[in-house]
Structure 1
Amino acid sequence: MEQKSPLEPSEKAIVLASSSTIGVDADVQLEGVHLTDILNSVIATLTVFYLLSWLDRTNLGNARVAGLQKDLRLTDNQYSISLTVTLVPYLCAELPVNLLLKIVGPNVLLPTLMTLWGIVTTLHGTVNSFGGLLACRFFLGLFEGGMLPAIVLYMSLFYPRSKLQQRLSMIFSASSLAGAFSGLLAAAILHMDGIGGKRGWAWIFILEGLFTVIFGIISFFIIPESVGQCTLLSAGEKEYVLKRLREDGAISQDASADSFAWKEVFQAFRLPHVWFTLCIFFFNGIILYSLGYFTPSIVQALGWNGIQAQLMTVPPYAVGFVVTNVGSYIADHYQRRGVVIIICAACLTAGFSMFLRSHNTSVQYGSLFLTISGINAAAPAITSWIANNTTPHVRRASAIACACVMTNTGGILATWLLGSLSPPPRYTDATIVLLVSSIGFGVAAALNLVYLWNQNKRKAKIRAMGIKEEEPEGLGDRSAWFTYIL
């Protein structure tokens, strides 16, 4: 009987890796380094990026409850203006940052942006006027604006399409974690009121901003530029991972297809599924920012004050964290992103209906569990959906950036909904807008699901004819051999 020769270490790595899909948490040994350890370190770092991004963006709501609005003598309109000013530079930064990501390198661009917005967050603790607050909010939005689309684009180059949402969920659930953590952290920091002549709300900005700066500097030494530039992997191992990603459609088969071209930027706007998804992102922005910025105010209007109000924001976000990860596991396992989004829309519709119709404080507080869980669980699903279904690189970068622009456009409307245009404690007009947005959210998702399903049927008929060589080059996701994820 012929004896088989033992495999070399690098060959063993390929055999072990080939039994699984790159991105699955398999124990794959690569020259003394676990591939999953490398990927998990990337996820962990980006999760902290997004957690701090959300924390630094929304801690103004905690500071408001802690006395910022009173100390700076801000009217409700001025407070809304300060929120709006944050989101305007967001809109301007998102597409340029995504297009620059490949040129500058995510290992340089992302830590730089983080360090800069951390400095600006810290400076929030020194403001003593409306004008100073506006300046800080503008530069916070400018430096933080490109972070989310860049993270999504970056992650889409590391994981197969079928495994992306679960990994993005780990990052996006940081917003739920940040929502819970911000309440606990604010409650703790408020005990520093008066130290150094600073109010408690000022210490919220100073301490959270300093931590962001420190982590931003450390992250220069953590995240790799790309799979191909990861120094912990050998040349053969890099090629193996890239091959698997090309086969999955996560990256283009032809590297030249991923080079920058304005044509690909505009191609993104010729795709019907991109437009359906942009509508979803707009409604998502209205709801996400309304809850992100105003949950402490809503809780305060329900009868809790001070530190107790901060602490009561924690449970809904803690539940949202769990629901987000469970929903993403289901979406990846069954490859049904659209269905998960529609279920989230149903939770939102039920939650806002409860808040609108009930006069019971406990019921209204309970509705936050549905709405916060629904919007947070939807975020990784819709983001994965647009990242999964657009290629090549520049087209995907443009679609993701424009999706985030739509989110922040909805966010601008949200900054005026609660408080300025709809007073507490009922927030009636605002809740009606949020309810309508939830319904629109679900309808747009259903239409997109039907469109993608029909396109996959059409593509399957073309593939059955076996005429791939007759397709023109550069079709990207419009190719019959590119199957949309539903």
Structure 2
Amino acid sequence: MQSAGFTPPRSPVKKHLAFEPESVAISESTVFDPVLEKRVWRKMDKWVLPIVSMFYFLSFLDRTNLGAARVAGLQSDLRMTDKQYSIALTLTYVPYIVAELPSNLVLKAVGPNLMLPTMLTLWGVVTTLEGTVTTYQRLLVCRFFIGLFEGGVFPGLVLYLSYFYPRQQLQWRVSAFFSTASISGAFSGLLAFAIINMDGIGRRPGWAWIFILEGLFTFLFGLCSYFLLPRSPSHARFLNEKEKIYVVERLHETGATARDESADGFSWREVGQAFTLPQVWMLAVILFFNGAILQGLAYFAPSIVRTLGYTAARAQLMSVPPFATSYVVAMIAAYVSDRYHCRGFVTMFSSSLCVAGFAVFLSPSSHSIKYGSLFLSITGTYCAAATLSTWSANNAAPHIRRATAIAIGFITTNAGGILVVWLLGSLSPPPLYTSATITLLVFSAWMFVIAGANTYYLWSQNKRKAEIRASMSREVEPRGLGDRSAWFVYNL
């Protein structure tokens, strides 16, 4: 795969420095070209990132719009109790969790350019139908299938981006698309504020139009995305042949993808290896805590704001600023994390914001101060989520081990979602949601502690690997070690 006038760079030490598919060479770059470097990633950001961002924006919008519909009258119209509302949310997460690992394992084989648009199109249909329900039972059916079709989206998108970007450039991109969740939170409030004024049109309540309009847009974008989403850098129509070769070589060199395609093939052994990595389980625990916080705020922010004395329509509008703020801060945090290679410290900083936010909300303060605390807690949890997702993708190799590690993290994330819908939905009553807030405060503190522990563990492993590299040559090391290779440097 070469083009006229371009030969992949060679080095006299290339044989010694060449890494197996699952390892990362510790050396000066042998293919780095500053002109191409700037051009190819800019093209990726222009053609791939917006599509991926829209995928997650619609996923989060269509999954959490039940909160906006609840405030707009869904719960009263369907005669649902708080317990039944919690059941409806829980039913979304069960198939969501079940789908995450299988979808990640088959994503590359099926082709992300086919699998991801199909999921998007199908849940768009279901979201539209959700606007036609007239009974609680029909709502449950819709929530089940939304969870089933959306289940593989977030872990699949993180894995998909790891096919296109080097490890140290990944968090800014993950944050760019994940932060659309905070935009979704803001946009959902604005959209719901406008849509509920359609109450009575077509003999349907305002909350029904939230589902119908958002679902139709998702369906149409899903159809368009079949023609927009490239399978891999080698299939990207916006890159010329020279750029394709450069991207593939850079991804190989940085350990993002394998030189030997067979090493990235499916292997049950590699699935099992992911379950033995300490960093995977530490991140899984943190993601459980973060998932509870993030999804609790996503689903219940309008309800929380309403308990502070605002009308239903005003509550939708007032939920916008905290989510908008979190987008800006998350992008700054992602830049710092990529620039200074400090995923752990960014996670600890984000956790500190959550601790402060929940502590203020619990304090005997005015409604305006409690509302201000949402800027801290929402910003902290969205900053942490993107960082943790990237951290998980960075420190597992080869492909199947990485796909499994990412899926494990998102399984625990959504398990946290199940817990919080009960905490905030029926077990911890408004206006203060005291039990739930205390629980989320404790979760935030544990996120800080475990993030510190994981950072120390990875640092100690990198130190041990450096000693091994100083005492032996690359050829002596056994093959098949993946991220456990001395030539694979963990991202802190």
Please classify the TM superposition score into its range, dividing by the shorter chain length. over 0.9
Across the aligned residues of Structure 1 and Structure 2, the Cα RMSD in angstroms comes to 1.8
What residue in structure 2 maps to residue 418 of structure 1?
Answer: 424
Q: CA deviation at 1:415?
A: 0.8
What residue in structure 2 maps to residue 5 of structure 1?
Answer: none
Q: CA deviation at 1:190?
A: 1.0
Matched, 1:332 2:338: yes
Q: Distance in 2 between matches of 1:229 and 1:265?
A: 27
Over residues 205-259 of structure 1, what are the superposed CA-to-partner deviations in whole Å (9 max), with x where a residue is unaligned?
0000000000000000001101122244444432321111111111123322111
Q: Distance in 2 between matches of 1:148 and 1:304?
A: 33
Q: CA deviation at 1:10?
A: 5.3
Q: Distance in 2 between matches of 1:412 and 1:349?
A: 21
Q: For the Cα contact (< 8 Å) 1:184–1:310, is it kept in 2?
A: yes
What residue in structure 2 maps to residue 84 of structure 1?
Answer: 90
Candidates 303, 308, 330, aligned match of 1:297: 303
Q: Distance in 1 between matches of 2:204 and 2:250?
A: 54
Once the two structures are superposed, the pairs formed by residues 132-171 of structure 1 within 5 Å of their partners are 132-171=138-177
What residue in structure 1 maps to residue 270 of structure 2?
Answer: 264
Q: Distance in 2 between matches of 1:43 and 1:174?
A: 11
Q: CA deviation at 1:351?
A: 0.5
Question: Closer, same or farther in 2 for the Cα pair 1:361/1:232, shift >3 Å?
Answer: closer
Candidates 10, 30, 33, aligned match of 1:19: 33
Matched, 1:362 2:376: no
What residue in structure 2 maps to residue 214 of structure 1?
Answer: 220
Q: Distance in 2 between matches of 1:269 and 1:368?
A: 35
Question: Closer, same or farther in 2 for the Cα pair 1:384/1:20, shift >3 Å?
Answer: farther
What residue in structure 2 maps to residue 474 of structure 1?
Answer: 480
Matched, 1:452 2:466: no
Once the two structures are superposed, the pairs formed by residues 34-433 of structure 1 within 5 Å of their partners are 36-433=42-439
Q: CA deviation at 1:466?
A: 3.0
Code of the residue aligned with 1:246 in structure 2: it is: H
Q: Distance in 1 between matches of 2:336 and 2:5?
A: 34
Q: CA deviation at 1:285?
A: 1.0
Q: For the Cα contact (< 8 Å) 1:348–1:371, is it kept in 2?
A: yes
Code of the residue aligned with 1:189 in structure 2: it is: I
Over residues 12-32 of structure 1, what are the superposed CA-to-partner deviations in whole Å (9 max), with x where a residue is unaligned?
999xx943397x6x245xxxx
Over residues 101-123 of structure 1, what are the superposed CA-to-partner deviations in whole Å (9 max), with x where a residue is unaligned?
01110000000000000000001
Question: Secondary structure of 1:270's match?
Answer: coil
Q: Distance in 2 between matches of 1:40 and 1:474?
A: 36
Q: CA deviation at 1:473?
A: 0.9
Q: For the Cα contact (< 8 Å) 2:6–2:242, is it kept in 1?
A: no
Q: CA deviation at 1:380?
A: 1.3
What residue in structure 2 maps to residue 3 of structure 1?
Answer: none
What residue in structure 2 maps to residue 4 of structure 1?
Answer: none
Q: Distance in 2 between matches of 1:366 and 1:9?
A: 60
Question: Closer, same or farther in 2 for the Cα pair 1:182/1:36, shift >3 Å?
Answer: same
Code of the residue aligned with 2:330 in structure 1: it is: T
Over residues 274-312 of structure 1, what are the superposed CA-to-partner deviations in whole Å (9 max), with x where a residue is unaligned?
111111111011101110110000001111112111000
Code of the residue aligned with 2:70 in structure 1: it is: R
What residue in structure 2 maps to residue 462 of structure 1?
Answer: 468
Once the two structures are superposed, the pairs formed by residues 427-446 of structure 1 within 5 Å of their partners are 427-446=433-452
Q: For the Cα contact (< 8 Å) 2:32–2:250, is it kept in 1?
A: no
Q: CA deviation at 1:441?
A: 1.0
Percent sequence identity over matched residues? 56
Q: For the Cα contact (< 8 Å) 2:47–2:238, is it kept in 1?
A: no
Q: Distance in 2 between matches of 1:234 and 1:371?
A: 44
Over residues 79-117 of structure 1, what are the superposed CA-to-partner deviations in whole Å (9 max), with x where a residue is unaligned?
000000000001110011101101110000000000000
Stretch moving more, 318-327 or 248-257: 248-257
Question: Closer, same or farther in 2 for the Cα pair 1:278/1:135, shift >3 Å?
Answer: same
Q: For the Cα contact (< 8 Å) 1:300–1:309, is it kept in 2?
A: yes
Code of the residue aligned with 2:34 in structure 1: it is: S
Over residues 186-214 of structure 1, what are the superposed CA-to-partner deviations in whole Å (9 max), with x where a residue is unaligned?
00111111000010000000000000000
Q: Distance in 2 between matches of 1:54 and 1:21?
A: 37
Q: Distance in 2 between matches of 1:104 and 1:463?
A: 38
Question: Closer, same or farther in 2 for the Cα pair 1:399/1:61, shift >3 Å?
Answer: same
Q: CA deviation at 1:154?
A: 0.4
Over residues 410-469 of structure 1, what are the superposed CA-to-partner deviations in whole Å (9 max), with x where a residue is unaligned?
100011011300000010000011011101111111110000000000000011113221
Q: For the Cα contact (< 8 Å) 2:8–2:246, is it kept in 1?
A: no
What residue in structure 2 maps to residue 32 of structure 1?
Answer: none
Q: For the Cα contact (< 8 Å) 2:8–2:245, is it kept in 1?
A: no
Over residues 65-84 of structure 1, what are the superposed CA-to-partner deviations in whole Å (9 max), with x where a residue is unaligned?
00000000000000000000
Q: Size of the alignment, in residue pairs? A: 470
Question: Closer, same or farther in 2 for the Cα pair 1:201/1:253, shift >3 Å?
Answer: same
Q: For the Cα contact (< 8 Å) 2:185–2:298, is it kept in 1?
A: yes
Q: Distance in 1 between matches of 2:97 and 2:110?
A: 20
Code of the residue aligned with 1:20 in structure 2: it is: P
Q: Distance in 1 between matches of 2:277 and 2:309?
A: 48
Q: For the Cα contact (< 8 Å) 1:392–1:476, is it kept in 2?
A: yes
Q: Distance in 2 between matches of 1:101 and 1:10?
A: 35
**What is the TM-score normalised by the length of structure 1?**
0.94
Q: Which runs of 5 or more structure 2 residues have no equivalent in the other structure?
A: 10-30
Over residues 135-176 of structure 1, what are the superposed CA-to-partner deviations in whole Å (9 max), with x where a residue is unaligned?
000000000010000000000110000100001111011011
Q: Distance in 2 between matches of 1:13 and 1:296?
A: 54
Q: For the Cα contact (< 8 Å) 1:289–1:414, is it kept in 2?
A: yes
Question: Closer, same or farther in 2 for the Cα pair 1:38/1:357, shift >3 Å?
Answer: closer
Code of the residue aligned with 1:269 in structure 2: it is: F
Q: Distance in 2 between matches of 1:371 and 1:13?
A: 48
Q: Distance in 2 between matches of 1:145 and 1:10?
A: 45
Q: For the Cα contact (< 8 Å) 1:114–1:144, is it kept in 2?
A: yes
Question: Secondary structure of 1:304's match?
Answer: coil
Code of the residue aligned with 2:126 in structure 1: it is: V
Q: Distance in 2 between matches of 1:450 and 1:430?
A: 30
